[in-house]
Structure 1
């Protein structure tokens, strides 16, 4: 078999995580990522039926039975992942009971997947219903998006429209808007279920005073979604101290939607 460290999925995963750490979004062990892998590509590097040990996944993920995921580990610092992937990330396969997973690689020395694993698994299950090509869930502490939740209304329509008006590409990149949850205790099934509900209609969900969840078909897709919203939030703060402010008008937003043939969230441009 090929060397797992040369696999494109491990390399791309580590590059993404290193980039988010460099951007200052994932301090200490903040943030987590999961990536659904194709069994065919994994089989070039690992035996998908050879389990190192069994993992408790903290929720019922029967909808993902048989799926193989690359995940970040609990308590693992993003700054260390690229230097030592095998100790900080792991590849697991969801078992038929939907409540456990088989560890296929990584998470050395008894390490376990991220404490936000229930959020990731329920998010994957929900997004696969909407998009069979869905593969990625990213949770990160994008600085300006988090800061916005301290000073901006948490009304989803208002939050979305503010970001849409900060940058022309926003409406095109996330026409489905942004879901917003109030502050909640993290790492449990309640926030996982609430997040999955929001992901039925939006690919971005803000956790107030905490972070953001972004999903996509690829690592670049999910990261780019968050990156675009984060840039708009940064612009929001850069202009906040000026007395005179301009913004993209509703008519201009409608023109954008028409030009790029995107369907915006119903009622957001009325």
Structure 2
């Protein structure tokens, strides 16, 4: 069986296309990684050989031996569906944790996204609280980014705004939203700051830049971002209509939502 025909490749092609079509990934903005187990790869004959090796620039020993399907640096999400063997690669973290071996893809010489260390740090952080953690996705949702310019960068305030925009918000991200300060992307420092937030949140805002989100599969992770951005769009629309909110979802109603759907809302963010 060829890896190009795998569910993982269908998923990454579908998610990157939809994300680009939504306007979240201009030019080469955005990246995604999916953790894949060795057992899930056993039937693919074309992933056995190591083709190249990359330096990670940090110690990822905690996920040594793990495979990750990851988009390439400088590559456009809109092209992944038409040129997947060039724009996506399957890598395995070496036992020393400092390198990644390429087993499939990047056929024209590409490398993993410059955000790959940040992805790995987030995978490591989330696996400590969620053994089903599989996906990290970064993109640039327009309305969510806009809120980082006009709203106080306060996790409680931002989470409450987004929760109150639609009933789905609390159900999909009951932990709320994590926020880091503005930082230069592609550095270990921003990766460490993001991973620290991932111990508590599934969504982290990069102010004036974008979003980092995690999940158990591509659909769940994409749906999480989609829900956050829809809430931000509703808020933006309200502001465009004058910003005068006459009624909203109350804290009591938020608590009722959490109970009805069996989720635990972040008690620090509820009154």
**Offset of residue 48 of structure 1:** 5.2
Q: Does the C-alpha gap of structure 1 residues 191 and 243 become closer, same or farther in structure 2, counting only changes over 3 Å?
A: closer
Show the counterpart of 2:187: 188
TM score, norm. by length of structure 2: 0.96
Aligned to 1:57: 56
How far is the alpha carbon of 1:5 from its aligned partner?
1.8
Q: Do the aligned residues in 2 keep the contact of 1:46 with 1:104 (CA within 8 Å)? A: no
Runs of 4+ residues over 6 Å off in structure 1: none
The aligned counterpart of 1:247 is: 248
Q: Runs of 5+ in structure 1 lacking a partner?
A: none
Kept in 2, the 8 Å contact 1:181–1:205? The answer is yes
Q: Deviations over 1:32-59 (max 9, x none)?
A: 0000012122221246552001111222
SS at match of 1:103: strand
Pair 159,56 (structure 1): closer, same or farther in 2 beyond 3 Å: same
**Aligned counterpart, 1:39:** 38
Give the deviation of 1:247 after TM superposition: 1.5
Q: Contact conserved, 1:137 with 1:222, CA < 8 A, in 2?
A: yes
Write the distance in 2 (CA, Å) between the matches of 1:214 and 1:254: 24
1:20 counterpart residue number: 19
Report the equivalent of 1:121. Answer: 120
1:50-73 alpha-carbon deviations (Å, 9 max, x no partner)? 200111122211000000000000
State the SS of the aligned residue for 2:204.
strand
Q: Which residue of 1 aligns with 2:262?
A: 261
Give deviations 1:170-218, integer Å, cap 9, x for gaps. Answer: 0111111110112110101000000000000000000000000110000
Checking the alignment, whether the CA contact within 8 Å between 2:47 and 2:104 is kept in structure 1 is no
Q: The residue matched to 1:236 in structure 2 has which SS?
A: helix
Contact 1:48 1:93 in 2 (8 A): no
Instruction: Indicate the residue corresponding to 1:96 in structure 2.
Output: 95
Q: 1:269 to 1:100 in 2, by over 3 A?
A: same
Q: So what's the TM-score if we normalise by structure 1? A: 0.97
1:268 Cα deviation after fit: 1.0
> Match of 2:14, SS?
helix
Aligned counterparts of 1:119 and 1:195: Cα–Cα separation in 2: 7
